[in-house]
Amino acid sequence: DGGITQSPKYLFRKEGQNVTLSCEQNLNHDAMYWYRQDPGQGLRLIYYSQIVNDFQKGDIAEGYSVSREKKESFPLTVTSAQKNPTAFYLCASSLRKGIGTGELFFGEGSRLTVL
Amino acid sequence: QKEVEQDPGPLSVPEGAIVSLNCTYSNSAFQYFMWYRQYSRKGPELLMYTYSSGNKEDGRFTAQVDKSSKYISLFIRDSQPSDSATYLCAMSAGGYSSASKIIFGSGTRLSIRP
């Protein structure tokens, strides 16, 4: 079955540690995205990539980093510079490269808790 | 003012009722409109996708877009307990630049009582 796989589902981190969230898709989609979801707020775009080896900052990129070395993979690193990292992180992909036109397919999410 | 406004609810209705979920927006350039359903602790899934104004029907679900009023709606007929979820509206102007990104509402939590 085609889809998006995020791991881990739950992650606990101590303050000052970097963590990497994995996102893999087998939908052959060009574009991939990372969103952050907090209670009572809409999804906020962290980073997006429309093609391999290229990515762009979203609205809340500070304290995060990404890479896009393969079409299927778009890992997100939450660095110690992110001041409030506890959140639900969602990875998505879309077939079309235009970031506003694509129907988004989401993974199951990764819940990060900073202790 | 947020670009997209959505009543957070919670909204509780009896099984079989017609549900109306709504969003308003301020950016007149928006032309792609979507509704996503999100179950607890899961990722959102696309329910409806419409371009420009008008209605679109899919089974028990109907999406309406009124660009003149900057208002979109999702109607659920014959609501079922399995429809209990958070519903997110989303919209965009389309295109390739970061200014074209999809903007999400904060979501309405819906509960269908058996």
pLDDT reading at B98 higher than 60: no
Q: How far is A100 from chain B (nearest CA, A)?
A: 4
pLDDT reading at B96 higher than 70: no
Cα(B90)–Cα(B82) distance, integer angstroms: 22
Q: How far is B4 from chain A (nearest CA, A)?
A: 9
- Of B46, B98, B3, the closest CA to residue A47 belongs to B98
Cα(B25)–Cα(A18) distance, integer angstroms: 37
Q: Do B104 and A43 touch (CB under 8 A)?
A: yes
Please compute the mean of the pLDDT values over residues B9-33 and round it to a whole number: 94
Q: How far is A23 from chain B (nearest CA, A)?
A: 13
Mutate to test the interface with A, among B25, B102, B103, B104 (most CBs of A within 10 A): B102
Pairing of strands B32-38, B45-51: antiparallel
Kindly tell me the sign of the dihedral angle through the C-alpha atoms of B96, B99, B100, B106. positive
pLDDT of residue B94: 77
pLDDT of residue A18: 93
Mean pLDDT over each residue of chain B, to the nearest integer:
92
pLDDT digits (tens, 9 = 90+) for A55-85: 999 999 999 999 999 999 999 999 988 889 9
pLDDT digits (tens, 9 = 90+) for B35-86: 999 999 899 999 998 888 889 999 999 999 999 999 999 999 999 999 999 9
> Integer distance in angstroms from the first to the last C-alpha of chain B?
37
SS (H, E, C) chain A: CCCEEEECCEEEECCCCCEEEEEEECCCCCEEEEEEECCCCCCEEEEEEEECCEEEECCCCCCEEECCCECCECCEEECCCCCCCCEEEEEEEECCCCCCCCCCEECCCEEEEEC
Q: Do A98 and B96 touch (CB under 8 A)?
A: yes
Cα(B51)–Cα(B41) distance, integer angstroms: 29
What are the average pLDDT values for consecutive 10-residue runs of chain A, which has 115 residues?
Answer: 91 92 95 91 90 92 97 96 93 75 87 92
Of A92, A100, A104, Cβ closest to residue B100: A100
B4 and chain A in contact, CB less than 8 A: yes
Q: Do A45 and B34 touch (CB under 8 A)?
A: no
Enumerate the β-bridge partners of residue A22. A7
Pairing of strands A10-13, A110-114: parallel
- For residue A115, count other CB atoms closer than 10 A to its CB: 8
pLDDT of residue A68: 97
Residue corresponding to tokens 């808790």: A113
Of A56, A103, A105, Cβ closest to residue B98: A56
Chain B environment of A45 (Cβ under 8 Å): 101-102
pLDDT of residue B97: 62
Q: Do A99 and B95 touch (CB under 8 A)?
A: yes
CA distances from residue A99 to A32, A103, B25, B32, B84 in whole angstroms, order as listed: 9, 9, 19, 11, 29
Q: Which amino acid is at B48?
A: M
Q: How far is A78 from chain B (nearest CA, A)?
A: 19
pLDDT of residue B79: 97
